[in-house]
Amino acid sequence: MDATPRLSEQACFAMYAASRAVIGLYRPMLDRLGLTYPQFLVLMLLWETDGRTVSDIGNELQLDSGTVSPLLKRLEAAGFVERRRESDDERRVTVHLTDSGAALETRGCEITQVVGTASGMSYDELIALRDRLNEFTASVGDRESASENNTSE
């Protein structure tokens, strides 16, 4: 048996390739809206719950503040969101949809449906895949945290 791992046999490569394919499918549709995929994810969060904190957005998207802040700055410059300092705590910044950002929600839903249809999978299959990927991500994240804790001692 050959000990060299084959790329085509690696689950991680399949996930990487799938991620690139999905983002590639989104790209032309999002380009027409003037959005990148990460910006689209921010808008999706705000369509679910407007007025989220910057740290909440980072946590939900698993991004650090150094990545989230430029995303929000570009979305704000495009007129899709506005950042507001809370009057009771000036350190706390919340992000709110503008009318233009809220108006994109219908198009956003259409885009996600196009991508789902392009997969050729049923709704139930897509949900099952999402759930398995979330389980995998949580498992790897737990192991990563444990590994970091063990090496920092």
Residue 48 has pLDDT above 90, yes or no: yes
Q: What is the pLDDT of residues 92-132, one digit of tens each?
A: 899 999 999 999 999 999 999 998 999 999 999 999 999 99
pLDDT tens-place string over residues 57-70: 999 999 998 999 99
Amino acid 102: pLDDT: 98
Q: 148 versus 105: which is more confidently predicted? A: 105
Report DSSP letters for 6-58, one per residue.
PGGG-HHHHHHHHHHHHHHHHHHHHHHHT--HHHHHHHHHHHHSSSEEHHHHH
Q: With contact defined as beta carbons under 8 Å apart, do 116 and 123 qualify? A: yes
Q: Evaluate if residue 14 carries a pLDDT over 70.
A: yes
Chain-centroid distance of CA 12 in Å reads: 18
Instruction: Report how far Cα 107 is from the mean position of its chain's Cα atoms.
Output: 17
Confidence (pTM): 0.85
Instruction: For each of the domains in the chain, give its residue range(s) and CATH number, in order of start.
Output: 36-129 (1.10.10.10)
CA distance linking residue 113 with residue 23, whole number of Å: 14
Query: pLDDT band for position 146 (50/70/90)?
Result: low
Residue 93 β-bridge partners: 85
Residue 9 or residue 148, greater confidence:
9
Q: Which two tokens stand for residue 48?
A: 């679910």
